[in-house]
Structure 1
C-alpha cells in the first residue's frame, strides 16, 4: 500500500474497529470521498481520513509517522 493511502484494514487498525464498522463509517455523508476504487478495494488519502479523525474522534490523536 502506498504510504499516502489507507485501505479498509488500515482504517480499521487506526480506529481500533472492525472492517464492518469501517464499511458503516464510509457510508456516512461526512466521511471523505474515496481517492480511488481498485480491484483490491477502495482506498482513501491518509490526509483526508486523518482530518476526519481529528474532527470526529479527537481522542485518537495523530497517527504516528513510521
Structure 2
C-alpha cells in the first residue's frame, strides 16, 4: 500500500497529514522505498488503523 492508498483508507486526509502520520514512530515501517515513495504491507496499516485511530 502506497501513500495514496493510505490516504484513501484514512478517509481522504490531506497529503501533509498522511506524511505526518506515516513518519510517526507508531506507524509501521515501510517494506520498501520506491521512486514513487514508501510502501507498506496492507495488513500492517490495517492493524495500525485499528489500534490508533478513533472509529
Task: Settle same-fold status: TM greater than 0.5.
Answer: yes
- Residue by residue, what CA displacement relative to the aligned partner does 1:2-34 show, whole Å, maximum 9, x if unpaired? xxxx11111011101111111000121111000
SS in 2 for 1:21: helix
Number of residue pairs matched by the alignment: 54
- 2:47 paired with 1:56: no
CA separation in 2, counterparts of 1:50 and 1:7? 13
Distance 1:29 1:40 in 2: 21
Structure with the greater alpha carbon radius of gyration: 1
Specify every segment of 5 or more residues in structure 1 that has no aligned partner in the other structure, as ranges: 1-5, 60-66
Q: Which has the higher contact order (CA 8 A, sep 6+)?
A: 2
Partner residue, 1:3: none
Which is richer in strand? 1
Moved over 3 A (4+): none
